[in-house]
Each structure stands twice: as C-alpha cells, then as structure tokens.
Amino acid sequence: MMYEFKASDLAEEIGVRRNTIRDWIRTGTIPAKEGPGKRYMMDVAEYIKLCDKFGRVPKVDVNMAIEVEEIKSLAEMENGNHAIDLNNRKTDSLYTDPSWADACLTCGTCASACPIAGVDDLDPRKIVRMAMFGLEDELVDSTWPWKCTMCAKCENACPMNIEIVALMRKLRSKRERDKVPGPIHKGVATCLERGNNLGIPKDDFLFLLEDLAEEMQEEGCPGFTVPVDKKGARLLVTINSKEPFAEPDDMKFWWKIFHTAKEDWTVASENWEGVNWGLFSGDDKSQKIIVGRIVDNIEKLGCEALLLPE
C-alpha cells in the first residue's frame, strides 16, 4: 500500500523545509518516487517508519503496515506485549552508585529540552531510565547516543543534576572501536600514527604554510611569515586539519590578526592538530595522548599560551 504526499506537507510534519525533503528523496534517505500532480509516493510502512524515526504520529493507522518487521515490534509495544526481563541485568555497569536511580525524578524535563527527543523513539529521559535498569547492551547498540550532539541542554535543564552527557559519552566509549560510526575513530587512529586526523605529511604541511605566507605578503601583509617551531614564542597555535586539507585560505584570518597585533606566535611542525576526536568517540586514552603532545610542544618551545581555535 502506498502513501501519497506533497513534499511541503511532509516537510511541515517533520519540521524541515521542502527542499530538504526533495533532497532526501533524491538521495534515498526517504524511499519515495515521484507520483502524479507534484506528489510523491512511498510505501505506507516506510512512511510509518519515518514517523517513528522522527517521533511523529503517523497520519495513518499503524496497523496498516503490520506485516513489516520493525512496525510489528512497534505495534506489540503499543499492545504492551513487549517486555524486557530485567531480573538478571547488572544495574551498576553504567552507574556505580545505585542511588542514582532515585536521583532521577523521571520528570522528562531533559526530553523537553532535547531537539532530537523522539528520534528512534528515544530521548534523554528514556536513556537515563534504561541505564538505571541495566540495559547496557541495548544502549551501546543504539545509534541514538551518536545522534546526540552532547550539547548538554538536557543536563542544564535537569533539576537533579543527573550527568546525562557523561552517560552518553560512556555509552559511546563502550562500543567496540571498529563499530564507531563514521570516520571519527579512524581520525583518532590516524592522528596517533601520523600526528593529525587526516594524515597530512609534514613536508606538504610546511610547503603549504610557506606558500600561503607568500600570498599573505602579496595581500597587504609585507614581511609576513609563518613562524614554525619558534622557540620562546608567546603563543602556540594549533590548526584544524580540515583547513590545510580543504580550506587553506581560512588559516589566513588568524594570521592577519597576528600580523596586525604584532603577536609573537608559532606553529609546531609536528602534532599541530587542534581537533581531538577522542572526545567524541569516547576514547579517553587516545584523547589524553593527543592532548599530551600539545603540552609537549608548549614545553619544548617554551610558549606561555595556547590557542585552540576549535
């Protein structure tokens, strides 16, 4: 059975713009086809799945698509048949202190503060409760803690100071490293091995800095150079590797300011990376090593201050 819709209606339903819906259809994020009269068609089950994903109530009866596996479990949950046996769960793996279970008042203020509450049928309150009940495996497998941006809006709103962000990060850290989504673990591994997330070789980096410095001289900063490994400079500047990789001209903003302010600054020739994805992947050990390298550079060069333009 097909569900017929206008891009603008679906856009309003989800809270994005029409062109975003069209984009999602084009890229397959929404599995729909163009239909007659500027309308689109998608399988009704897909529509219900989409509503489920963004925490919306479908405009059709959920039972219309009961044959689909994901929907079936949803319908069962609604009928109260879906129970998880909590008796044999360890409850102290995510919270060492059992009193946490009493600290959370289950008021749901955190969920109200969260812009993606309802996505995948989860929100901060549910995740805190699941953690209290020891549902570690379910949470570690869930992609929700990775869709969360750890913005701390929930925690800021929580009347009981539950450490929700630390919980999210802990859930991320408990994933096996080869199951960390996207490139962030790979970036950490590359950074540990080669000094920056994108593996830019030292020679290429230094050549680029010289090249850009020459451009700066022509662009109204006479005598400008990038001081590399300058001992005794006041300020050590780290660099986001995306800039030398893809947006090199963006480095000039800071440089222009330094030049004008007559700042005594320097860039390290090695371990100059300013991005630390260990923070996001939940990898304390690597995060510490990467921070340690920056501290080493500060000590080696005798700098007084650090600029991490992140």
Partner 1 sequence: MLEYIQSGQITLSQDFHTMKATYHDPCNYGRKSEKAFGYGYYEEGRIITKECCADFQDMEPNREFNYCCGAGGGAWALPYNAERIFYGRVKARQIEDTGAELVIAPCHNCRDQLMKSLNKEFDLGIEVKYLWELVADSLVVPGQEVEADKETAE
Residues that bind partner 1 (CB under 8 A): 14-17, 19-20, 23-24, 29, 53-54, 115-116, 119, 143, 146-153, 155-156, 165, 168, 181-184, 187, 220, 240, 242, 250, 252-254, 256-257, 260-263, 275, 277, 279-281, 309-310
The single residue listed with the structure tokens 């009704």 is 44
CB of 156 to partner 1, least distance (A): 6
| Closest by CA position to 71, among listed 85, 94, 51 | 51
Helices 164-173 & 124-132, crossing angle to 10 degrees?
Answer: 70
- Contact by Cβ (8 Å): 253, 261: no
CB of 12 to partner 1, least distance (A): 11
CB of 229 to partner 1, least distance (A): 23
CB of 184 to partner 1, least distance (A): 5
Classify the C-alpha dihedral 41-47-51-56 as positive or negative.
positive
Give the residue with the Cβ less far from partner 1, 230 or 252.
252
Q: How far apart are CA 85 and CA 47, in angstroms?
A: 31
Give the residue with the Cβ less far from partner 1, 163 or 229.
163
Give the residue with the Cβ less far from partner 1, 100 or 146.
146
| Closest by CA position to 297, among listed 235, 218, 246, 225 | 235
CB of 169 to partner 1, least distance (A): 8
Give the residue with the Cβ less far from partner 1, 181 or 302.
181
Give the residue with the Cβ less far from partner 1, 210 or 250.
250
| Closest by CA position to 126, among listed 175, 171, 62 | 171
